[in-house]
Structure 1
Amino acid sequence: MPKQVDHEERRRRIADAVCALIDEQGLEAVSLRDVAARAEVSMGAVQRCFRSKDEMLRFALAHVGHQVTARARTRLLAAPAQSPASTVGHLAHEIALLQAHQRAQARVWLAFLAAAAVNPALADDLRGSYTDLETLLTRLIADAGDLPDPAAEARTLLALADGLTAHVLIGHRAPEEAERLLHAHLARLWQ
């Protein structure tokens, strides 16, 4: 009897391999051969899961986004926020990827962000992710307080989180300082 293959699980395993390679060597080092070796599948299995390298990269980008979302959801369920404002804070901290255990994911995210500057398909995917995050943050900020423009505050918070991620990765800011800056911004929102 032929072995049953869980195609979605295999696609996730391949996406994890893509992310590990990006973390270690950068996006330009990702090849189908290396991905197959890292995922411990044949090149044919990779090609059956993805029609092209671009499709594989786009899936890996979405995979990273799903991981961040799942981690934020888990954090909110494990330690429910005391208020709508603290919910915004929890989400902002997860988006910023400032913790040591998030560093690999931050490197992968920023590698995709840089690639999106010259890859329209990746740019389109990232714009969709950012739009979804802005929509969620706008709703949470509107629920948290009487601010004149929750959408503008959501855009600013998202830009700050991304900027702090980059600053920490290149060593311009220590993670603790970035956390303080993010916390100070959030505190000013609710004054």
Structure 2
Amino acid sequence: MPKQVDHAGRRQQIAEAVCQLVDECGLEGVTLRDVAARAEVSMGAVQRCFRTKEEMVQCALVYVGDRVTERVRHRLKAGPAQSAASELGLVAGEVALLREEHRAEARIWLAFLAGAAVNPGLAETLRSSYASLEELMVRLIMEAAGGSVVGGSALGGVFTDGAASARTEAHALLALADGLTAHVLIGHRTVAEAEDVLHAHLAGLWARC
């Protein structure tokens, strides 16, 4: 019988290889030949999984985004019961990729972000990843601010116009997390300084509620 191929597993294997190459030499250094060599598969195997290089790179971007999102959700489920405000701080810290063990992931994410500025396909994929994280942040902000909506308005001073304000705050927090990722990577801020900035922003948010 012909050997059965785990296509999902093969695609993940190739996505991981793409990420390793992006970390080492940026998006411009990703070639079909190098990806096949790093994934230890044939070039034909890569081409059977992905019709184009762009499709392959987009899959790698989704893989990184899903890994961050899954880690966030796992930490929320695995940790002890805590307030929505504490959970939001945990989410923001994970998204900012500040810890040393996530440094390679941070480099990969920012490489994809830079590529998305000139690649509509990557930009669309990134927007989808951000949207998922923003929805989680909006929910936690609403819960921390009062936990309910009455007549279209959330309880809590900063959210008098309802979920729209919570969404604006989520946008700002996600943008701050991305900015801190970049500043730490280039050495403009230390991890401790970045964490202080993040904590100060969250403290200011709850002070306005």
Aligned residues: 191
What is the match of residue 77 of structure 2?
77
Identical columns (%):
65
TM-score (norm 2): 0.88
Superposition RMSD in Å: 1.0
Range with greater deviation from structure 2 (50-59 or 127-136): 127-136
Contact (CA 8 Å) 2:7, 2:49: kept in 1 or not? yes
Contact (CA 8 Å) 1:15, 1:63: kept in 2 or not? yes
User: Is 2:201 aligned against 1:177?
Assistant: no
1:80: Cα distance to partner?
3.2
What is the match of residue 59 of structure 1?
59
Range with greater deviation from structure 2 (79-88 or 59-68): 79-88
Q: Deviations over 1:78-122 (max 9, x none)?
A: 213510111111111111111101111111110010001110111
User: Is 2:82 aligned against 1:88?
Assistant: no
Residue identity in the other structure for 1:108: I
1:175: Cα distance to partner?
1.0
Residue identity in the other structure for 1:30: V
Q: Deviations over 1:114-172 (max 9, x none)?
A: 00111011111111222222222112101111232211110110010000000011111
Larger Rg: 2
Report runs of 4+ in structure 1 exceeding 6 Å deviation.
Answer: none
| Distance of 1:87 and 1:25 partners within structure 2 | 35
Range with greater deviation from structure 2 (125-134 or 154-163): 125-134
Range with greater deviation from structure 2 (126-135 or 6-15): 126-135
For structure 1, the 5+ residue unaligned runs are none
For structure 2, the 5+ residue unaligned runs are 146-155, 160-164
| Distance of 1:185 and 1:173 partners within structure 2 | 16
1:174: Cα distance to partner?
0.7
| Distance of 2:30 and 2:69 partners within structure 1 | 24
